Amino acid sequence: MNWITKALRFGEKIKNEIRKRSSKEEIENSDWTSCCKGPILKKELDDNLWVCSSCNKHHRINPKQRFDIIFGKNNYEIMETPIPQDDPLNWKDAKSYKDRLKNSRKKTGMSCGVLVAKTQINNINITIAASNFSFIGGSIGQAEGEAILTGIQHAIENQQPFVIFTAGGGMRMFESLIALSQMARTTLAINELKKNNLPYLVVLTDPTAGGITASYAMLGDIHFAEPGALIAFAGKRVIQGTVKEDLPADFQTSEYLEKNGFVDLIVQRKDLKNKIGSILSILLKKNSAINSLSNETSKDSRTFTKTAS
Ligand SMILES: [Zn+2]
């Protein structure tokens, strides 16, 4: 080996070191993440409900973090949900589905991608569910479908509203038709909620897409969304390629969907608790400031009529 080859190899080594990217695991275990101004300490984001104080980006959070923020730590009871047989189709591509499940369970501490719990808001008993995007992209398989159904069943049996925080890429490819059938199952379950006149609230969070948007995420009595969330069925590039037209920059965001009537209200994470509480109070005519206000107003108007006469 002459000195030129040696020098070239050394140069290549330096280049590789510079180009080397952190693995997913390293990024997850790091104290840092990134936002508009570059690196930001996770602790700093955590103190601000995982919302960037500079650009208001609502970072993704897991179901427990969400329940802690909205309903208060230790103020909800997690419910056991059935776990059907893993990997019914024996799926394998670059990795086996069994391995993917194993890794996701280890990473998230959850047995499936949807967490169901019972809690209270404004002194109203409610059943809640939330998806974890870190569990195979928040996709829905049979176990997740069962979890949502268990939540809805609990809500109906106890005559409670059902609130869901959606996230995820759609129905889980590794379960094929079994996953797709969860769209019909969840839709039918929501119909039962509605037959019982129980409020069904949806909070769309980043990202909600595919079969999730095509089923339970768009069937709410009220649709809230966190600012800047991606809410879509098919991806923007696919649609752009099909319709051969340029689409607006804010296409498929909470703001665009609110403008076009698919989202009722965009709510900042810090305000979700109040908004969910007051909407449920109004819908159920319970513990509502508006109800007591309207009583006061009617009293006032009686006084006014007396004085005037
Ligand atoms: Zn930011």
pLDDT tens figures, 7-16: 888 888 888 8
Query: Helices H, strands E: what count in the chain?
Result: 11, 9
Model's pTM, two decimal places? 0.87
257, 263 in Cβ contact below 8 A? yes
Q: Which helix (H) or strand (E) holds 12?
A: helix 3-19
pLDDT tens figures, 175-190: 999 999 999 999 999 9
The CA 237 to ligand 1 mean position distance, Å, reads 25
Q: Break the chain down into helix, strand, coil percent, rounded to 5.
A: 50, 20, 35
What's residue 295's pLDDT?
53
Q: How far is CA 234 from CA 63, 140, 212, 213, 231, in A?
A: 25, 16, 11, 10, 10
The CA 106 to ligand 1 mean position distance, Å, reads 29
What's residue 66's pLDDT?
98
Using the 8-state DSSP alphabet, how is residue 168 labeled? E
Q: What is the pairing mode between strands 162-168 and 124-131?
A: parallel
Asked if the model's pLDDT at residue 131 lies above 80, the reply is yes
What's residue 251's pLDDT?
94
The CA 58 to ligand 1 mean position distance, Å, reads 9
Task: Using alpha carbons, select from 184, 168, 171, 128 the residue that is nearest to residue 152.
Answer: 128
Say how far residue 282 (Cα) sits from the centre of its chain: 24
Asked if the model's pLDDT at residue 20 lies above 80, the reply is no
The CA 177 to ligand 1 mean position distance, Å, reads 39
What's residue 301's pLDDT?
43
Reduce the DSSP state of residue 284 to 3 states and report it. helix
The CA 229 to ligand 1 mean position distance, Å, reads 14
The CA 39 to ligand 1 mean position distance, Å, reads 10
147, 114 in Cβ contact below 8 A? yes
The CA 226 to ligand 1 mean position distance, Å, reads 15
**In percent, how much of the chain has pLDDT > 70?**
92
Which of 5-9, 39-43, 59-63, 81-85 bottoms out in mean pLDDT, i.e. has the lowest?
5-9
199 preceded by a cis bond (ω within 30 of 0): no
Mean pLDDT of the 34-38 span: 94
The CA 66 to ligand 1 mean position distance, Å, reads 19
The CA 174 to ligand 1 mean position distance, Å, reads 34
Reduce the DSSP state of residue 259 to 3 states and report it. helix
pLDDT tens figures, 231-287: 999 989 899 999 999 999 899 999 999 999 999 999 999 999 999 999 999 999 886
What's residue 302's pLDDT?
43
Q: Count how many residues are written for the chain.
A: 309
The CA 179 to ligand 1 mean position distance, Å, reads 35
The CA 225 to ligand 1 mean position distance, Å, reads 19
Task: State how far the Cα of 94 lies from the Cα of 87, in Å rounded to an integer.
Answer: 15
